[in-house]
Amino acid sequence: MTDHVLSLVAPQTLPPTLSGCAGSNRAPPGVVRQIAANDDVAAIGLWLAEYHDSPHTFRSYRKEAERLLIWATQVRGKPVSSLTREDVIAYEDFLAQPPAAWWDDSLARRGEHRRLFAGPLAERSRRQALGILSGLFNYLVRAGYLAGSPFVLQRRRPRRGMRRTIERYLDRALWDDVLRRVEEWPQSTDRECQRYERARWVLRFLYGTALRASEAAQAHEGDMLLLRGRWWLRVVGKGGVEGQVPLSDVLMDDFARYRRFLGLPTTPNASGVRPLILGIAGRDSPLTPTAVYLLVKDTFGRVADACESSDPSRASRLLRASTHWLRHTAASHQAEAGNPVHHIQQNLRHSSIATTSIYLHAEDDARHATTTQGARR
């Protein structure tokens, strides 16, 4: 299990008082143990191993576990298996305002002395971090490693500022403008043509499927299925949930164009392992989710630069946009087009239709119009 052990702290670097071998919250003798791990790093590593088949989730969970482990041993001077409710409250305050030494830009992004934060965490990010850690502690309690979880006492706070609708998306006019401006990119050299064709395909692929960056990075041509004369994409998303996303004729034409440019067959190979998003020169090595994210950010940045002088507000919005904005954009446009909400739910693979309902902007727009049209000064 060593490949899942936290990268910043190896078990041998922690003295016995901090390793968790004798943590004050360890399960008492007589409790049936479900795991053999006898120190905190090994126990946390086993929890992380449960997510080895979901790289995005694994990285996110490891980051939060590393932060807590470093904070507990270096700031509180105790092992993770000795943390109390008071420590959890202090850690939440720490996440809201970590010392500059933890997020200094001069620190490396990787390695033993890398920075652990990009800056203070917003309320939503703090909730997410504590939710992940609560899951960790619940796992260790069920495994018979810990006696209890200091997170179970956490009161449920009202989510201030949460809106019923999603606003991190591009309206139809802005989306059309992005596509139009990408068509204006220079294509006088091979490198420029490669950059243009890949950006063109990635935007249309993410928009046409509403995939997350991690899902798009993992998608291969063998995931494209022809069923009853219609194309679908098999997707394994968060939590290992599998679904099928419809692929339109327009998107399949875009796929054929991208492959034709690279000199590849335009019809998907049912047993093919070639990624649907290839390297800049068509190399078969898959991109990481981060690379997909940066590719989209770079594309939006280039479009923002092009419209900065004529429309600064539009440029500002594009600079904030990301791959997840494309997912929101796709869902919002589907809702505006009258797509049944339960179809959108299936396309996005939401477990609850209430989650999907946040994309129903048209209903709010209609309510605003009927409310304000007869208003007098």
For residue range 219-245, list pLDDT tens digits in order.
999 999 999 899 999 988 776 778 889
Residue recorded with tokens 């994210």: 293
pLDDT of residue 179: 95
Question: Whole-structure pTM over 0.75, yes or no?
Answer: no
Q: Rounded to 10 degrees, what is the CA torsion of 147, 152, 153, 158?
A: 170
pLDDT (mean) for 326-337 = 84
What's the mean per-residue pLDDT of the chain? 82
Residue 374 pLDDT greater than 50, yes or no? yes
Query: Residue 325: is its pLDDT beyond 80?
Result: yes
Structural domains of the chain, ranges and CATH numbers in brackets:
2-142 (no CATH), 172-372 (1.10.443.10)
DSSP 223-263: GEEEETTEEEEEEE-GGG-EEEEEE-HHHHHHHHHHHHHTT
Question: Cα-flanking dihedrals φ and ψ of residue 202, to 5°?
Answer: -60, -45
Backbone angles phi, psi at 369, to 5 degrees: -65, -45
Candidates 196, 171, 194; CA nearest to 183 is 196
What are the pLDDT digits (tens) for 143-187? 999 999 998 876 655 455 444 445 788 989 999 999 999 999 999
In this prediction, residue 157 carries a pLDDT of 55
Of 71-85, 94-108, 149-163, which gets the smallest average pLDDT?
A: 149-163
As a whole number, mean pLDDT of residues 254-281 equals 90
pLDDT value of position 3: 43
Q: Is the pLDDT of residue 353 over 80?
A: no
pLDDT of the residue at 377: 47
